[in-house]
Amino acid sequence: MSPRVANLIRTAGLSTYPLYLIHDVVGAYMLRQLVSAGLNQYIALVTTVVIVVAVSMTALLVAEDALRGYLGQRLWRKHKHA
């Protein structure tokens, strides 16, 4: 397996936790709002899935890496001085 494919698979796997956290509340709310606004239920479903996956990937690639780095530095510093 090429490194590029391995990286894509790893990223997809890592995105499942943020997806798990947001899909229920955000996805259900978004789907309800789109259908209430008159959008076809199937188009609303596809739109919701695409947006929730995009938000999940953004959380993984932006927020999670920054948070992991910040917490890692803080925890390592406290552990080092203990």
pLDDT tens profile 42-82:
999 999 999 999 988 888 888 777 877 788 777 777 656 55
Report pLDDT for 70. 82
Give me the domain span that covers residue 71. 3-81
pLDDT tens profile 6-50:
988 988 888 888 888 888 899 999 999 999 999 999 999 999 999
Q: How many domains does the chain have?
A: 1
Report pLDDT for 79. 59
Report pLDDT for 68. 78
Of 50, 20, 21, whose CA–CA distance to 34 is shortest?
Answer: 50
Which helix H or strand E contains 30, and what residues bound it? helix 28-36
Q: At 21, list the tokens.
A: 């956290």
Residue 15 phi/psi, 5-degree rounding, is -75, -10
DSSP state of 40: -
Q: At 66, list the tokens.
A: 């920054």
Only one residue has tokens 């690639």, namely 61
